[in-house]
Structure 1
Amino acid sequence: MSRIAYSKILRFLEARLTPGGALGLHLTAGVALLLAAVSVFAEIAEDVGEQDTIWHIDHAVSRWFYEHAFEPLTSFMLGLTHLHSTIGVSCMGVALAIWFWRKQAPYWLLALVISLPGGMLMNVLLKHAYQRQRPVFDEPLLTLATYSFPSGHTAGATLFYGLLASYIVVVSSSWRVRLWAMCGAALMVGLVALSRIYLGVHFLSDTLAAIAGSAAWLAVCITSVSSLRRRRAAREDQ
């Protein structure tokens, strides 16, 4: 390899790992997250389609939760899952949009407008593409007629809490606040996913695929909006 080619590669890598710039570290991190999430989703979807190991785990986990359901946990899970329905997540999204508007954060508002409705629509399209039937029990706790894979409630929670945590991580200067934001988002997404499995309307793989797919879409939205903001800022500085 010539010195000129080697120098070009070094400059390219340096630009991709630089925190500033329209195509810097944020783009590299976004693309890395996107590729990782897509790979995880594809692997889960393939295993489900071929009824591989995860297919057997799915049924074992669903059966275990069905046999060990009890009050008041069932009521709590029902309340949690209804709170994160399409209507519930949409209302929380509107509230967050108003917050961004009042905080004069137009780029975060744009990211929210793109990511939440777009991600939920993508989830519906994936459901119809895979057409997986939901778990079946003799006396189900909750019955739904739509398809199972991937979980819409989990997808909505991932999009909403993921975006909210990303905003807090960016604007906060305290590492403790950032850590709490990430842990809180992970906890809420995990609880919503657990509620869907507990109530017998989704398999474990449905929720994992929803998290992976939504994380991929969120990475695209946040990275794109961030690149747009940086490009405009660079033009204004010229």
Structure 2
Amino acid sequence: MINKWLREHNITILPIITLLASFLMLVLSMLLFIELAEEIIEQEEILIDDFVYSFASKLNETFLYDAMEWITEIGSVWFITVASVVVILYLLLTKKSKWYSLFFIINIVGIGLLTKIFKMLFERERPDLLEQYDGVGYSFPSGHTTGAVAFYGFVIYLISKSEWKKRWKITLIVLLTLLILTIAMSRIVLSVHFFTDIVAGLLLGFSWLLINILLLRFVLFRRKNKNSI
């Protein structure tokens, strides 16, 4: 009976499963972020932060440290801003619907505001203040990480919806995912963030990204159905 109703309304099972899975990931990400935030507010000692920081401090003057000096710039405010302008121009010129560019802007601007708000709310001091790596201000959550997830995550979504060959899409998605994680790791290696700052940045960035993508999908779905009536 359910299958018959779905067929009558031209609805397939896969998008429904994808939607439910997306909502589940969103809820889990937000719950984990809240749990982590509570520990920061209560100023509990987090052993993994001490362990990771101690390990990262031993990487100074190594090849990995030098490489992270370059990689961290790919997640910096100036780089994300310039790259965002390029993406917006691309969307305005290639996408028939302007909703893509609108939600991309909301995604990028919104994550910047959210990150600043949470930093001011928690006022967590950084392990080290290094201005040359944007290691100034408060620490929780990592702005480079939230920005990287929001920006490169939206680019991953655009690639997944493109008409490119499957092998190219998979390759680019894997590379961009690794880039996000590497940018996040660079903040630890450079000793300007604690491990939990990075985890919080990944969770917050992913949650905000997912909210914008779901809203974009909803708007496009509604407009498509409205035009088909």
**Identical aligned residues as a percent:** 25
2:222 corresponds to? 231
2:209 corresponds to? 218
TM-score for both structures, normalised by structure 2 = 0.85
Name the CA shift for 1:166/1:143 in 2 (closer, same or farther; >3 Å): closer
- In 2, the alpha carbon distance for the partners of 1:224 and 1:76 equals 37
Matched pairs, number = 224
Unaligned runs of 5+ residues in structure 1 are: 1-6
Query: Partner amino acid for 2:76?
Result: S
How far does the alpha carbon of each residue in 1:171-204 deviate from its partner, in whole angstroms, 9 at most, with x for none? 2464433432332222111111111001111011
* C-alpha deviation, 1:68, in angstroms: 2.3
Map residues 78-97 of structure 1 onto 2, 5 A cutoff.
78-97=69-88
How far does the alpha carbon of each residue in 1:141-199 deviate from its partner, in whole angstroms, 9 at most, with x for none? 85733000000001110011110111111224644334323322221111111110011
Matched, 1:34 2:37: no
- In 2, the alpha carbon distance for the partners of 1:69 and 1:132 equals 23
Asked if structure 2 preserves the Cα contact closer than 8 Å seen for 1:37 and 1:213, the reply is yes
1:182 corresponds to? 173
> Secondary structure, in 3 states, of the residue corresponding to 1:132?
coil
1:3 corresponds to? none
> Secondary structure, in 3 states, of the residue corresponding to 1:171?
coil
Name the CA shift for 1:63/1:140 in 2 (closer, same or farther; >3 Å): farther
Asked if structure 2 preserves the Cα contact closer than 8 Å seen for 1:58 and 1:205, the reply is yes
How far does the alpha carbon of each residue in 1:95-146 deviate from its partner, in whole angstroms, 9 at most, with x for none? 1111112212523212211101101110111111111111148x99857330
Asked if structure 1 preserves the Cα contact closer than 8 Å seen for 2:145 and 2:183, the reply is yes
| More off after superposition, 197-206 vs 174-183 | 174-183
Query: Partner amino acid for 2:85?
Result: V
| More off after superposition, 176-185 vs 112-121 | 176-185
Name the CA shift for 1:174/1:32 in 2 (closer, same or farther; >3 Å): farther
* C-alpha deviation, 1:46, in angstroms: 2.7
> Secondary structure, in 3 states, of the residue corresponding to 1:186?
helix
Query: Partner amino acid for 1:113?
Result: I
1:121 corresponds to? 113
Asked if structure 2 preserves the Cα contact closer than 8 Å seen for 1:119 and 1:159, the reply is yes
Unaligned runs of 5+ residues in structure 2 are: none
| More off after superposition, 192-201 vs 94-103 | 94-103
Name the CA shift for 1:123/1:11 in 2 (closer, same or farther; >3 Å): farther
2:49 corresponds to? 58
> Secondary structure, in 3 states, of the residue corresponding to 1:146?
coil
Query: Partner amino acid for 1:222?
Result: I
* C-alpha deviation, 1:74, in angstroms: 2.8
Matched, 1:205 2:196: yes
Asked if structure 2 preserves the Cα contact closer than 8 Å seen for 1:144 and 1:201, the reply is yes
Query: Partner amino acid for 1:152?
Result: G
TM-score for both structures, normalised by structure 1 = 0.82
Asked if structure 1 preserves the Cα contact closer than 8 Å seen for 2:91 and 2:100, the reply is yes
